[in-house]
Amino acid sequence: MNSTALPVASAPVSFGVDEIIADDAWMPGPDEMLDWMVEIGYEGTELGPPGFLGDAEQVRARLTSRGLQLVGAFLPQRFSRDEKADEDRAWLRRSLRLIREGAPEGSRPFAVLCDGIDEPVRHAFSGRIPEHPEAWLLADRFETLMANLHRAAEICRTEGFEVVIHPHAGTYVETADEIARVMDRLDPALLGLCLDTGHFRFGGADPVQAVHDYRDLIRHVHIKDCKSAVMDDVKREGKGLEAALARGVFTELGDGDSGIAEVIEALRTIDYRGWLVVEQDQSLRDTDTRASVVAAQRRNREYLRRFGI
């Protein structure tokens, strides 16, 4: 695989625009954020929270005028909660319409499905789930999760999207065992895997081994680094996901323990040819400035260039 086979995108979450962290000290506006992406050298972006980049017409105009492709959209659904299914599917259909109508010519954005990120017990014990059986998903709710995941994937495919599932901290698909449980039951005709190297590491999975284990399912990649020292401190204090995010558990590429260099080599081994989406989930503090945020994301892009990407 040559370097041109791996286009590199960014995501609003790298600039502090996030679905999970709502109390940032400040956030950039959509136009300045997209201008930064172009200046740094990214070729595309994920959508971020639906509405941040505007309605479909605004999304299309903003991305087209800058030559950016829309590569994916993060679409959480409370898969293990049947009582939430109708509400979640209605939101999913509305979001898919925005993505389809907002995608610039030539873009083929992924529908990036994720389990719900609003389960208090999972947030409380996120990062230390194996030690807390009270946070495990029981067998009947796992069956519900798989059924609703496949139904959501069918909806996405009917709307013309390729679909992936994104294992994510703070959800019922976080740990290595939980990921394996879902992958074993996944219908590859409906959806594949979004490998997020930071979230895999956060949940205790080995991102490099995951490339080999799930090579036939990986269709989209989020390149993210995770700092184990931050996680260790949070665990010792008995805290969960919010504390880890606030302390910068997802760090700049090369500063963490996700094995980014080894992941890239493994992706080359399996001849992966999709997008690499650079993500650094972070909340912005008063000490962060526009210059410092741009500089950090520029370093992330330069880090990948060391590998010919």
Amino acid at position 135, single letter: A
The answer regarding whether domain 3-305 maps to CATH 3.10.20.30 reads no
How many helices and strands, by DSSP H and E, does the chain display? 12, 10
**Whether the Cβ atoms of residue 170 and residue 21 lie closer than 8 Å to each other:** no
The rounded radius of gyration (Å) of the Cα atoms in the chain is: 18
CA dihedral 11, 55, 104, 281 (to 10 degrees): 0
Give the Cα separation of 153 and 163 in Å (integer).
6
C-alpha to C-alpha distance for 160 and 67, rounded to whole angstroms:
23
CB within 8 Å of 224: residues ≥ 6 apart: 196, 197, 198, 199, 250, 258, 278, 279, 280, 281
Would you give the end-to-end CA distance of the chain in angstroms?
11
Longest Cα pair distance anywhere in the chain, in angstroms? Answer: 50
Q: CA geometry: angle at 248 spanning 244 and 249, to 5°?
A: 55
Quote the pLDDT of residue 4: 46
- Percent helix, strand and coil across the chain, each to the nearest 5: 45, 15, 40
Instruction: Report how far residue 259's alpha carbon sits from residue 268's, in angstroms, rounded to the nearest whole number.
Output: 14
**Angle at alpha carbon of residue 205, lines to 203 and 209, rounded to 5°:** 160
DSSP 8-state assignment for residue 283? -
Angle between helices 176-185 and 139-158 (to 10 degrees): 60
Q: Please give the helix or strand (H or E) that residue 259 lies within, else none.
A: none
pTM of the model: 0.95
Upper half-sphere CA count for residue 279 (Cβ side, 13 Å)? 31
Cα–Cα dist 179/243, whole Å:
23
Per-residue pLDDT of the chain (309 residues; tens, 9 = 90+): 344 468 999 999 999 997 655 566 788 999 999 999 999 999 999 999 989 999 999 999 999 999 999 999 999 999 999 999 999 999 999 999 999 999 999 999 999 999 999 899 998 999 999 999 999 999 999 999 999 999 999 999 999 999 999 999 999 999 999 999 999 999 999 999 999 999 999 999 999 999 999 999 999 999 999 999 999 999 899 998 888 988 999 999 999 999 999 999 999 999 999 999 999 988 888 889 999 999 999 999 999 999 999
Residue 171 has φ and ψ, to the nearest 5°, of: -120, 180
Query: Is 34:62 a contact under the CB 8 Å cutoff?
Result: yes
Q: Which two tokens stand for residue 10?
A: 């960014």
